[in-house]
């Protein structure tokens, strides 16, 4: 069952949690792109814009067809430094501690256990830009040791009346349909969108495990092979409104609804030298999820440049129900039937008040409060027996657990920009309060801690198109609710898991220095970075005997990361453009796990790029691909891998265009993970659904717009999943 569980989200789009990232016509203050001062570095090309501002680099994906017709995972894979693997796990410059925001606001869908499912199912059609914020200012939460990724949705221009329909289909019944529209007047703007997506596919996985007996050093070999087939579908809807109360005051709000279902069938064949660990397992899993969200915000412009007051509240509730019906046939024991249910109810409320005002001729002050309130209720139920008529409750499958976390934050930043030199200093003070209630064992835990998080950003303009930048920030990575659950939970016949309620956040100090230059339509950047982390969460494995292992977690690891990242974009000829990026990273990890007395280190590199050829105004071709080298992880490494994508668009007229896209056309996307610990040596190979071919049509219905949007181009830079 362990391999089947890992494969639940192996294929991009197989895991279905929700759809339709909420679009908005207003970007909150911290998500709004910085004003274009003379020291901002901007490149405008055929495919996208790259904007470098005080604390972030912003990449446009509005004209990227792979993103606009794809999922949020595709949007993340389209920008440098971001990896998304086959399970939907995100890393930024090799660090898996990443916070993902939508318009500067957290989303319950993109937190915790359901994030991988959501990323691989929520459509990206309303995403305009992806902001990479590796060293955020104090005005943003420090959570996310690797940094913050902010997905900025499209804004409606004044006096717009438009609607767009997009449809795409491919083999195996894969299909998606999206519609969005906008009606904008002088004081009121209405927007809405709806989506439907259906995906079918298969995946497979192989686990080769060698267990070491700590008493005498003997080994036991086990091989598990799993095959998975899945069907998923979703539907979503969103409606939003902006109302200008006056020339200086605006009120915004929106409501969103998402619903999805996923059915997965899996078969696992386990063969072991230890006969009791040999079994065949058939399982059927059904998952249903619903979410309802609402957001309201108010902005007031005050006298003076950059003088404003904003307040907003974001509320979201998620209901997820997952059931498993499994039949296990053991080599040395009677067959076993299992019925397992996992219920999750999660709620999130985020409220913020932000005040900005100018100070003197060249300075500005930003003060604010942010309250982040999250809660989750877990209810696990399981019965087991020789047949359906003989099922009885199983303690390791039955558990109720509540988790609540409240974070109160006050922050201040001061920025000065007298000319060629600019600087921003900030400090954030946070009080975190956590309550845990293990209802099954009637055990409660309460924990609170106070922390300060300083930040600093500097910039110097060498010329009108060339600039140096430097920054520092202190970051944390908080454990999620399941990491804290102290109850022992059954994963499969060979693996148990127990959380640790004493876990504390991992603390990271991050330093960066970079150079950016634009010249005409060409953009170059080189960024060097150094990160040191302490109190990292380490997996601790305990041998319970008879081939059964208990996995727990502890704050034991320390780590260092040193690297450099390069980005280039430009034109090779009148009809040929390119986008390329590369990185080199050295990583040292000291897991401090029992039996491991030395740290481990290694280096890795990655490259990605695309070539776009537009021989005429109606035809558009693109090839893109990437390759990632061997990557160090706390208990082993991931093998290198890559993929290649292709796309073609034919423009019929100004309103209709046809597309043909091929993702992973060489069928090379897979993940190979090697774990090497004193007790266990694993080699896990996971493969996704293979090449995906989609044919689509985009149709803009009537409407007026203040400015015509450029035609979309292709960028299938999705290879992060091939690690």
Summarised one tens digit per residue, pLDDT across range 638-685 is 899 888 888 888 999 988 999 888 888 898 888 899 988 777 888 999
User: Which strands form 105-106's sheet, in the order they lie side by side?
Assistant: 41-44, 49-52, 57-60, 127-133, 147-153, 98-102, 105-106
pLDDT over 70, % of the chain: 87
| Bridge pairing between strands 619-628 and 49-52 | unpaired
pLDDT over 90, % of the chain: 34
Q: What length does the chain have?
A: 723
pLDDT at residue 49, as a whole number = 61
- Mean pLDDT of all residues in 539-544: 73
- Of 38-42, 60-64, 378-382, least confident by mean pLDDT is 38-42
- Of 167-176, 612-621, 688-697, 698-707, least confident by mean pLDDT is 698-707
Confidence grade of residue 503 (pLDDT, cut at 50, 70, 90) = confident
| CB-based contact 72:21 (threshold 8 Å) | yes
* Tens-digit pLDDT profile for residues 222-258: 999 999 998 988 888 989 999 999 989 999 999 999 8
Confidence grade of residue 24 (pLDDT, cut at 50, 70, 90) = very low
* Tens-digit pLDDT profile for residues 360-397: 888 999 999 999 999 999 999 999 998 888 899 988 78
Confidence grade of residue 358 (pLDDT, cut at 50, 70, 90) = very high
pLDDT at residue 375, as a whole number = 92
Helix (H, G, I), strand (E, B) or coil at 491: strand
The span from the CA of 233 to the CA of 196, in Å, is 7
What count of other Cβ atoms lies within 10 Å of the Cβ of residue 513?
14
Confidence grade of residue 636 (pLDDT, cut at 50, 70, 90) = confident
Tokens of 465: 């198109």
Return the bridge partners of 540, or none. 552
pLDDT at residue 224, as a whole number = 92
Return the bridge partners of 637, or none. 632, 674
- Of 33-42, 200-209, 391-400, 453-462, least confident by mean pLDDT is 33-42
- Mean pLDDT of all residues in 545-555: 78
577 to each of 201, 388, 568, 580, how far by Cα in Å?
34, 62, 11, 10
The span from the CA of 105 to the CA of 87, in Å, is 24
User: Mean pLDDT of all residues in the chain?
Assistant: 82
Confidence grade of residue 711 (pLDDT, cut at 50, 70, 90) = very low
If you search the block for the tokens 């203050």, which residue do you land on? 29
pLDDT at residue 703, as a whole number = 57
The span from the CA of 489 to the CA of 76, in Å, is 32
| Bridge pairing between strands 279-301 and 600-613 | unpaired
Indicate left, alpha or beta for 290 from its phi (over 0: left) and psi (-120 to 50: alpha).
beta
The span from the CA of 468 to the CA of 461, in Å, is 6
Q: Which helix (H) or strand (E) element contains residue 683?
A: strand 680-687
pLDDT at residue 158, as a whole number = 67
pLDDT at position 61 over 80? no
Confidence grade of residue 429 (pLDDT, cut at 50, 70, 90) = very high
pLDDT at residue 65, as a whole number = 67
Instruction: Count how many domains the chain has.
Output: 1
DSSP for 253-301, please give it.
EEEEEEEEEEEEEEEEEEEESSGGG-EEEEEEEEEEEEEEEEEEEEEEE
Q: Which helix (H) or strand (E) element contains residue 74?
A: helix 72-77
pLDDT at position 452 over 80? yes
The span from the CA of 150 to the CA of 167, in Å, is 27
* Tens-digit pLDDT profile for residues 97-116: 888 888 888 877 787 767 87
If you search the block for the tokens 């459509």, which residue do you land on? 123
* CATH, residue 415: 2.40.170.20
pLDDT at position 29 over 50? no
pLDDT at position 1 over 60? no
pLDDT at residue 461, as a whole number = 92
pLDDT at residue 82, as a whole number = 84
- Mean pLDDT of all residues in 137-157: 86
Confidence grade of residue 593 (pLDDT, cut at 50, 70, 90) = low
pLDDT at residue 263, as a whole number = 93
What DSSP character marks residue 487? S
Q: Which residues contact 413 (CB under 8 A, 6 or more apart)?
A: 137, 138, 139, 365, 366, 424, 425, 426, 455
- Of 147-161, 312-326, 557-571, least confident by mean pLDDT is 147-161
The span from the CA of 689 to the CA of 98, in Å, is 26
Q: Give me the sign of the Cα torsion angle 132, 135, 139, 144.
A: positive
- Of 38-42, 75-79, 183-187, 499-503, least confident by mean pLDDT is 38-42
pLDDT at residue 638, as a whole number = 87
pLDDT at residue 509, as a whole number = 95
- What range defines the domain where residue 180 resides? 2-722
pLDDT at position 40 over 70? no
pLDDT at residue 5, as a whole number = 36
Tokens of 360: 């003197």
Return the bridge partners of 282, or none. 267, 327
pLDDT at position 47 over 70? no
């Amino acid at each position: 069952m362990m391999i089947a569980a890992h494969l639940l989200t192996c294929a991009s789009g197989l895991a279905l949690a929700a759809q339709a990232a909420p679009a908005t016509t207003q970007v909150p203050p911290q998500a709004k792109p910085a004003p274009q001062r003379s020291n901002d570095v901007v490149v405008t090309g055929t495919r996208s814009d790259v904007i470098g501002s005080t604390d972030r680099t912003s990449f446009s994906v509005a004209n990227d067809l792979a993103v606009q017709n794809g999922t949020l995972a595709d949007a993340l894979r389209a920008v440098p430094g971001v990896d998304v693997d086959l399970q939907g796990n995100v890393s930024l410059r090799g660090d898996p501690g990443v916070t993902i925001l939508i318009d500067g606001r957290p989303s319950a869908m993109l937190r915790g256990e359901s994030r991988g499912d959501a990323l691989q199912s929520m459509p990206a059609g309303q995403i305009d830009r992806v902001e990479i914020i590796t060293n955020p200012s104090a005005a943003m939460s420090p959570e996310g040791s690797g940094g913050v990724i902010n997905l900025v949705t499209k804004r409606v221009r004044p006096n717009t009346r438009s609607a767009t329909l997009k449809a795409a289909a491919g083999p195996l019944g894969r299909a998606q349909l999206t519609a969005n529209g906008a009606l904008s007047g002088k004081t009121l703007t209405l927007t809405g969108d709806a989506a439907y997506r259906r995906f079918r596919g298969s995946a497979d996985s192989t686990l080769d495990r060698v267990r070491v007996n700590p008493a005498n050093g003997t080994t036991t070999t086990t091989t598990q092979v799993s095959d998975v087939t899945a069907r998923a579908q979703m539907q979503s809807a969103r409606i939003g409104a902006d109302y200008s109360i006056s020339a200086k005051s605006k009120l915004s709000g929106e409501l969103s609804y998402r619903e999805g279902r996923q059915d997965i069938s899996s078969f696992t064949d386990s063969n072991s030298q230890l006969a009791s660990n040999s079994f065949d397992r058939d399982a059927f899993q059904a998952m249903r999820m619903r979410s309802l969200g609402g957001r309201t915000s108010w902005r007031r412009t005050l006298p003076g440049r950059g003088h404003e007051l904003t307040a907003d509240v974001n509320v979201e509730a998620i209901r997820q129900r997952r059931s498993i019906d499994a039949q296990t046939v053991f080599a040395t024991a009677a067959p076993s039937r299992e019925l397992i249910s996992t219920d999750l109810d999660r709620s999130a409320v985020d409220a913020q008040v932000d005040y900005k005002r100018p100070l003197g001729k060249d300075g500005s002050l930003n003060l604010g409060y942010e309250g982040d309130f999250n809660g989750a209720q877990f209810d696990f139920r399981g019965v087991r027996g020789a047949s359906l008529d003989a099922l009885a409750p199983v303690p390791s499958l039955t558990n109720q657990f509540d988790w609540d976390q409240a974070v109160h934050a006050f922050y201040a930043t001061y920025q000065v920009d007298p000319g060629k030199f600019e600087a921003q200093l900030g400090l954030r003070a946070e009080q975190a309060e956590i309550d845990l209630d293990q209802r099954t064992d009637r055990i409660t835990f309460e924990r609170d801690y106070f922390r300060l998080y300083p930040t600093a950003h500097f910039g110097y303009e060498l010329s009108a198109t060339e600039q140096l930048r430097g920054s520092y920030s202190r970051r944390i990575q908080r454990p999620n609710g399941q990491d804290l659950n102290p109850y022992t939970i059954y994963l499969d016949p060979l693996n148990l898991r127990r959380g640790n309620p004493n876990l504390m956040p991992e603390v990271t100090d991050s330093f960066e220095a970079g150079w950016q230059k634009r010249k005409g339509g060409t953009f170059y950047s080189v960024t060097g970075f150094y990160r040191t982390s302490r109190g990292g969460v380490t997996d601790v494995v305990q041998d319970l005997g008879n081939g059964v292992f208990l996995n727990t977690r502890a704050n034991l690891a320390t780590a260092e990361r040193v690297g450099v990242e390069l980005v280039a974009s430009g034109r090779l000829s009148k009809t040929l453009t390119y986008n390329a990026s590369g990185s080199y990273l050295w990583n040292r990890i000291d897991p401090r796990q029992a039996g491991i007395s030395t740290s481990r280190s290694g280096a890795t590199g990655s490259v990605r790029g695309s070539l776009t050829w537009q021989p005429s105004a109606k035809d558009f071709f693109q090839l893109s691909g990437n390759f990632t080298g061997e990557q160090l992880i706390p208990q082993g490494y991931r093998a290198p891998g890559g993929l290649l994508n292709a796309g073609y668009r034919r423009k019929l007229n100004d309103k209709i265009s046809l597309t043909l896209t091929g993702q992973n056309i060489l069928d090379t996307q897979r993940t190979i993970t090697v774990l090497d610990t004193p007790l266990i040596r694993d080699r896990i190979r996971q493969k996704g659904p293979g090449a995906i071919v989609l044919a689509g049509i985009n149709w803009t219905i009537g409407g007026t717009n203040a400015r015509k949007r450029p035609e979309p181009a292709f960028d299938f830079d999705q290879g992060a999943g091939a690690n």
